[in-house]
Structure 1
Amino acid sequence: MSTLPSTNPYEDPESARLYDAENSGREDVEFYRRLARELRDAAAGGAGAPFTVLDIGCGTVVLGVDLAADGHRVIGVDPAEAMLQIARTRPGGERVTWILGSADAAPEGEADLAVMTGHAAQQIVPADAWRTLLRDAHRALRPGGMLAFESRDPRRRAWERWTPESTRGTFPHPDGGEFTSWVELLEVDESGADGVVETHRGVTEREGSARRGAEETLIFRPLDVLRADLESAGFAVEQVCGDWSGGPITDATAELILLGRRP
């Protein structure tokens, strides 16, 4: 397995500022909001009962603010201070508890639901770090709590479409006007037993000036590896979906969405 370290380009303040513009309208946000409502309503207390959501790798916390507006107690943890600075100033951000760090910094046994969105699970590349994170998420959940996250299905080989031509887009800039961004694929390693590891970087261009961001390394773990890692961390895999409507995994599946229960 590759020992490439996990990298976080969003520790860079400028990349963090542009994140929301490049990632608006995400289907995963509504999926996780719906899941939180369903789990809360199915809990012993019923609708309106206290319900705590831990957002691991929360970023600028689009989801966290929406979850807080839905009446949940929300704890957001992220290792990038630049992302949390934006999250704290977002309208509604005062409703969320912010923690700089990862799941190991979350309170023990308080969360009813823990989520990793925006493919944050793929940023944890080394196998030991990934399995430690799953154990930390397990520790942060109450008995009966749920961990939910998504990872791109490696069978679809998404990295092969991460070219400047296919990823180029134009977005509104926070300071006014527009910027253009695209992805440059740098390296792919398909030799590891735990999944395909790829490295890329984002490029942004504004007013004729191009800026290359930090390199980002992701891992595409197959379903059997994700299942085994969840079970090894103490979770019972309760559901696996292939799309944001909750449909099954098929040969055309783009996502692997896993829900694991802490017994």
Structure 2
Amino acid sequence: MKPGGRFGFDTRDPTARAWERWTPATVWEAVTADGSTVRSWNDAGPFENGYVSFTTTYESPGWDAPRYSESTLRFLDVPSLGEFVAEAGLVVDEQYGYWDRRPVGPEIITVVRRP
């Protein structure tokens, strides 16, 4: 990034404890372009050392078997995120809780720049 350049990104705020709602009881449905319905849900493990691993299951009536995706996310609080930004030689210009600029939580939208 050039000096003075800026970019924004989002992370999850660990204080919101979102992973506690990533359970098989919360199911999402989507309709694909061909009209098929796909259902999905998460099954999250415990929060350990700032990380949460989870499995997302996808199923559709037209499929022979469910499909799975395994992921791990790292959750950083605002001070830890600031440390990473500074270590990268960047400066935090702005932080919000969502792209509409509400206060921090449940997400952390960070806009940084290279001095």
The corresponding residue for 1:206 is: 60
Letter in 1 for 2:43: E
CA contact (8 A) 1:204 1:210 kept: no
Within 5 Å, which residues of 2 pair with 1:100-249? 141-166=1-26, 168-185=27-44, 187-190=45-48, 192=49, 196-207=50-61, 209-249=64-104
The structure in which a higher percent of residues are strand is 2
**Given the two structures, how large is their TM-score scaled by the length of structure 2?**
0.88
Tell me, in whole angstroms, the C-alpha distance in 1 between the residues paired with 2:89 and 2:110: 14
Give deviations 1:209-250, integer Å, cap 9, x for gaps. Answer: 54131311111111111001101111111111112211222x
Give deviations 1:10-66, integer Å, cap 9, x for gaps. Answer: xxxxxxxxxxxxxxxxxxxxxxxxxxxxxxxxxxxxxxxxxxxxxxxxxxxxxxxxx
Larger relative contact order (Cα-Cα within 8 Å, sequence gap ≥ 6): 2
Which 4+ stretches in 1 moved above 3 angstroms? none
Structure 1 residue runs without a partner (length 5+): 1-140
Within 5 Å, which residues of 2 pair with 1:47-126? none
Tell me, in whole angstroms, the C-alpha distance in 1 between the residues paired with 2:43 and 2:33: 23
Aligned residues: 114
**Cα gap change, 1:156 to 1:210, in 2 (>3 Å):** farther
**Given the two structures, how large is their TM-score scaled by the length of structure 1?**
0.41
Q: What is the percent sequence identity of the aligned residues?
A: 35
The structure in which a higher percent of residues are helix is 1
Give deviations 1:127-152, integer Å, cap 9, x for gaps. Answer: xxxxxxxxxxxxxx111101211111
